[in-house]
Structure 1
Amino acid sequence: MSLLVEVRNRFGALTRRSCPAVEILPGTAAVAARGVTYALENGTRLVDGVSLEVHPGELVAMLGPNGAGKSTLLGLLTGDLVATGGEVLVGGHPIADLGARELARHRAVMPQSTALAFPFTVDEVVRMGRAPYLGMPCDETDDEIVARCLAETDTAHLARRAFPSLSGGEQARATLARVLAQQAPMLFLDEPTAALDLKHTEDVLKLARDRARRGDAVLVVLHDLNLAAAYADRIALLAGGRMVACGAPEEVCTAPTLSELYGHPVDVMKRPGSGELLVLPRRDAA
């Protein structure tokens, strides 16, 4: 028996359970943090009383300096971490009330990195995104969905390559294809552009924006302020585990706010012609 068949069989066992789809209650966010806190055993708070909502149809970018609590907050919103205070709601329902398969059909998560111990091909990795739907009817076949996701992420030519043989950027795109294949209405992307070149960076943010325009809720963790300002509907700024500001890019991307947040002076201006916000760090003249 192949490793992929073993994986499919393991997920397939879930099809014997009753896992209805998550219903987003009218007027509620796709996911919401209500005063959530995450503290270590020694009392250190990595996330401290943060509230954040992401609604269907919007792209929210989360930014902040290293150690701000971005990935920890993401883990709380996805259910990978359990809050030590406050609550997380998915479609108006407490996240703890949702089963693993039910949650997997509501949200898909792209981690900062993906490590595989076995030489699965890219095609096999992307097909793993279909695991939550094994045994369920679907308008499209898995083959059609996988092919489309490979095309959207420019990885179709890599389909037969072993995932561990890919470059960091290629692995990131293949992982994104798996996330898209999950067809969840909520996308969590943790630094999806970190290993990508210029073209693929823009492609990924365009894809995320397009998914939001089609009605999905998208939360993306970024370090690039200019990318966030260009593509996000709202920007959430974190520092020290707390929310510093959250709003439209032009509201939160101000020179005083960003200079204080990052401890480095910046200038914020608009690109002539387009009016696009540009954030530029000040540099001492040589």
Structure 2
Amino acid sequence: MRRPIRDSLFAAAILLPAFASSGAALAAAGDGEAERAARWKELQQQVFGDRKVEAGKLVAIDMPVRAEDAALVPVTLTVADKDQVKGLYLIIDDNPAPLAAHVDFGPAGDPAQLKMRVRVNTYSNVHAVAETRDGRLVASEIFVKASGGCSAPMGMTEADALKGMGDMRMKFADPAADKVVQATLMIRHPNFSGMQMNQVSREYTPARYLDRISVSQGARNVFTMEGDISISSNPVIGFEMRPEGAAPVKVAATDSQGGTFDHTFPVPAASN
């Protein structure tokens, strides 16, 4: 994943924490199609360099048009032809750090569907970009109305938010006929954005967020996800995998302050 966009825009969020409540943060709500198109063109250059990004229907985005909670916006990415796709990018154009996640699928992964919860800071286009095995980039787009997701308080003290950090749970559905297993990974982590104010001290809580999550079974990778402040607190990630044998499923994660977390889970038994 290319880092310049995250480094530059996230730095701006740290230096200007009032961004979330300023007029500048809300300007995107009144932008027209031309302004949004220009912003997307700039983001393409920052994230993908000179690679061509074409519009298409390879990946569908399911999000609420108007978010009930801007800090916990559910998103589902569904791939039309999963055999073509090796990776997905999720970009929230007007967030302080637009590149929310980059997911690479391994031999044990199945790209058919990916679910997560994100923060949306203002009215924004959201893009999902599928990277195909032959190197194409195919983008889909949706417009979402939300406000203040990146600066929204968690409703608890910082100490309480940090309790149990790194605890994990994994749920598996019964394997499908084609041996694809739907799984849900839950990680306890506040994913502090650096834009949330401590209501007692009136100081901003330093950013600390999961920046890498890797799921594997034995020597076979399921997926690796690089994330940023746009991923919601206590991430919940739904994905599909193709387990082989009885090796446990291992999750290894790191955060932006050097924290490391890992856990193993028994693989679900195949149904007769």
TM-score under structure 1 normalisation?
A: 0.27
- Structure number with greater Rg is 1
TM-score under structure 2 normalisation?
A: 0.28
Q: Which has the higher contact order (CA 8 A, sep 6+)?
A: 1
Q: Higher strand proportion, which one?
A: 2
